[in-house]
Structure 1
Amino acid sequence: MVLDSTFSIERRTCRFSQILIDGGSSINILYRDTMEELGIKEKQLQPSRTVFHGIVPRISCFAIGKIKIDVLFGDKTHFRREPIWFEVVDLDNPYHALLDEMAGPKCFITIAGDYQKSLTCTTASSRLAESLIIAEGKRLLDRALAMASKQPAMPSNPKDADAGGSFQPSKETKKIILDPAHPEQHAVIGSNLDSK
């Protein structure tokens, strides 16, 4: 559900219109753009070691820090103000923030969301996730190609591979004929071994 909410810090209060409530989430996320609109500087963030998954499929995200912000939902007759810890991430997103469910004093509060806004944000978020997955796939492919280009070229003739390989027989070896009818077929053994 996408709805409006007021975020308040020490010297600034902003009303945001694209707050995603995700009851299945176990983390509250604030995006860098929203942090900057609130006038929060990166040096004001507390350190965070949080790594999370699921915002963009198959891509891990790292928080750049965390901060506590007062969040206000509802109107003057039915509202809830709660200080909430947010993990701040440096990702593009159509939302201003992502929140887990927010409980009222006696139970969960009921707030009406905007279906059209939810649909618009979901579509934009899907496009963004798709482009990030494509970019990650391209990065992995470029890395694989770079690694492949560093490998020595394989010779087309296997005999060339034997001659140019890094494995060289010991000087203390001798050739033994495997079949007298085919003297070209031989084995190399240590010179101290018996030919039988």
Structure 2
Amino acid sequence: MDGGSGLNILYIDTLDAMCIPRSELHPVGSPFHGVILRAQAYLLGHIDLPITFDSRANFRSEVLTFEVDFLGSYHAILGRPCYARFMAIPNYTYLKLKILGPNGVIIVSSAFSHAFTCDREHYELATAVVNSSELPWLRQSSVLAAPNCNQPTSSSAFHPLEETKVVEIDPTNPTKTVRIRTQLLAK
């Protein structure tokens, strides 16, 4: 479950385990950002799959579009498109997903230990991918430019590009403020 994701993601190992040939994938024209921190993700393609939750007595089926990615420690990630299609309500604290079925509420659950293991494996995998792609860039950039630590900087060195105004965000504490742009574009 990932309510912050705008994609439903299926990993290639899962697609292979389901015995779905890669010829069933539809090509994706551009890379995605945000799948792996600070890196572009070139997906293999996308596929529409029927998804069913619960048992024969009380089930719900919908067709979801999944973006197929190379590597991952999960089988799939269900994002906002899944929640919208199923009108599902996620509860991240209890690792439960509630869906209205024809004969009552369908509850999809997970174990905390399994979620922790998957999160740890995914973090290690994402860190390895980012480090492998950043290492040549870091070596090159550290040789090209060294910071000038002798020159002091002050908070007055930074100025907004547009006209802004100060707005209090906490009426009980006037020191808590934010700056917002005064010339917003109408859309």
TM-score, normalised relative to structure 2: 0.58
Distance 1:93 1:28, change over 3 A: same
Partner of 1:98: 77
Partner of 2:137: 140
Specify which of 35, 49, 54 is matched with residue 29 of structure 2.
49
Contact 1:49 1:62 in 2 (8 A): no
Long gaps (5+) in structure 1: 1-20, 149-196
- 1:181-196 to 2 correspondence within 5 Å? none
Aligned CA RMSD, in angstroms, stands at 2.6
Distance 1:128 1:105, change over 3 A: closer
- CA deviation after TM superposition for structure 1 residue 139, in Å: 3.2
Answering whether residue 15 of structure 2 is matched by residue 35 of structure 1, we say yes
- CA deviation after TM superposition for structure 1 residue 97, in Å: 0.9
Long gaps (5+) in structure 2: 89-98, 100-106, 145-187
- 1:8-23 to 2 correspondence within 5 Å? 21-23=1-3
Specify which of 100, 111, 116 is matched with residue 114 of structure 1.
111
Specify which of 43, 55, 59 is matched with residue 63 of structure 1.
43
- CA deviation after TM superposition for structure 1 residue 104, in Å: 8.4
Using the alignment, how far apart are the partners of 1:24 and 1:88 within structure 2? 18
Answering whether residue 116 of structure 2 is matched by residue 127 of structure 1, we say no
Contact 1:24 1:100 in 2 (8 A): yes
Percent pairwise identity:
29
Distance 1:113 1:104, change over 3 A: farther
SS of 2:66's equivalent in the other structure is strand
- CA deviation after TM superposition for structure 1 residue 43, in Å: 2.1
TM-score, normalised relative to structure 1: 0.55
SS of 2:46's equivalent in the other structure is strand
SS of 1:111's equivalent in the other structure is strand
- CA deviation after TM superposition for structure 1 residue 123, in Å: 0.8
Aligned length: 125
Question: Could you list the per-position Cα deviations for residues 89-142 of structure 1 after superposition, in whole angstroms to 9, with x for gaps in the alignment?
Answer: 22x211011111435888421422222111110011111111112111223246
Using the alignment, how far apart are the partners of 1:65 and 1:71 within structure 2? 18
